[in-house]
Amino acid sequence: MMALIGKEMRMTLRSLVFYLFIIVTCFFYFTSYATEETWGEVGPPAVDVTPQNIGTAEHPYYGWKKPANTLELAGRMKTEIGFDLGSGIIEKLRLGFPVKNTLDAGEREILTEAVSKLDAVLLAPEQYTMEEVYAIAGEIDKRLGGNSMYKVGLRDYSFPVENYDDAVKLQEDILADYSAKVEAGELLPGAARYFSDYMSLPAGMFPVFISAFLLLRDRSSRMNELIYSRRISPWVYVSSKFLALGIMSSLVYLIVAVLGGWQTVDTLGLTGQTGQAVGIFLGYTAWWLLPTLWVSIAFGMFGSMLFRRGIVPIALQILWWFLSLLPLMGSYGLGRLIIRFNSPNDYGLYRGWKNEIALNRSFYLLLTVLLIAAAAWLWERNRSRLDSAGMTAKKRSRRRSPAAPAAAPEGGR
């Protein structure tokens, strides 16, 4: 089996699509994670900058602020619900796009009940946690049938800062949050989650462009007699191809993870923390990102055997990927191919979703094994059909072949 894996790894290195995969992965890294915007979000806030009014004298505006406590969150959530009740319209996601829907009587009642719950929070905010307030929005989404803008992670319930004193206070709060994050050891894990969020996007789509043709490639090269030889176990044959591509693709991401850990430490000036950062980035990459990569490879192989065409699993994978893009945080059900956590902060939210994420990743590891086993079974079935067809063709060929004519005796006088 090791010889087969080595052979397949060499074949992968000859694939132009594999090098395109590397280019796309690096492109996502340098344009999505390793950017000035990321360093601004991950790094320390600027404390010596005077807040600037970017609005007007009549309507000052100093930016947006995320709710810092249950009082602010419940108040902003109640305001958002009030907007929807006033307009009579609510937005829901359809294939990843927001679509406006008119509220019916039942939906209005759902929103009104949620307002009553938020009023209770506003009366005694210290008795509730942020997770419990977010759960009110999650309950709204569930009762509305799902995929509404109340889905946890779709809205952050930010509100405008409209006076100078609040802007100064916001700067102080941001600095305090950053200091608390550093003291809690959450700076590098937050950056690693942010890295994994962006890098999982190419991992969830592009590997299928290679794997969908792995089991079809040899047949198209007219190597049928070698492939369908009974001396090759279907499990060995299929799993060797999966392991070869899985190892090569995983190495690409692990190398980029090392680069990400090193560059984060270097850019933020975290002297002496390179080894720690690399370990954290590798850990999140292996646990959050690689299951997405592996199941994408396995799905391409399984789909190509099921449909006998590589283009079908590619199309299905793209659809699956597209439906997994939103929300940017939360909603980690078993149908979610990609783990989205588009924030280097919000550790409290992550802590509440940690078990759900672990279940999702464990499921996809198991699904990968099942898909490879199913691909091997389908490959063996196809081999048996080819063997049967070959035997039938040989029998027909023998029946149609005329007997060799006997040699005529030499005549003599």
pLDDT digits (tens, 9 = 90+) for 51-88: 888 889 888 999 899 898 999 999 999 999 999 999 99
Residue 183 and residue 162: Cα distance in Å, rounded?
Answer: 31
What are the mean pLDDT values of the chain's consecutive 10-residue runs (413 residues total)?
90 93 97 96 83 88 91 96 95 80 95 97 95 93 90 86 90 89 94 97 96 78 50 87 97 98 96 96 97 98 94 96 88 93 89 93 98 95 64 56 52 44
Residue 222 and residue 133: Cα distance in Å, rounded?
Answer: 62
Contacts of 46 (CB under 8 A, 6+ apart): none
Residue 51 and residue 62: Cα distance in Å, rounded?
Answer: 7
Q: Both ends of the chain: CA-CA distance in Å? A: 72
Contacts of 25 (CB under 8 A, 6+ apart): 199, 202, 203, 206, 252, 253, 256
Q: What pLDDT, on the 0 to 100 scale, is given for residue 37?
A: 94
Q: Please, is 90 exposed, middle or buried when counting C-beta atoms within 10 Å of its C-beta (0-12, 13-18, 19+)?
A: buried
Enumerate the β-bridge partners of residue 160: 64
Positive or negative CA dihedral for 135, 96, 41, 329? positive
Positive or negative CA dihedral for 179, 185, 187, 190? negative
Q: Look at residues 358, 20, 16 and name the one whose alpha carbon lies nearest to residue 202.
A: 20
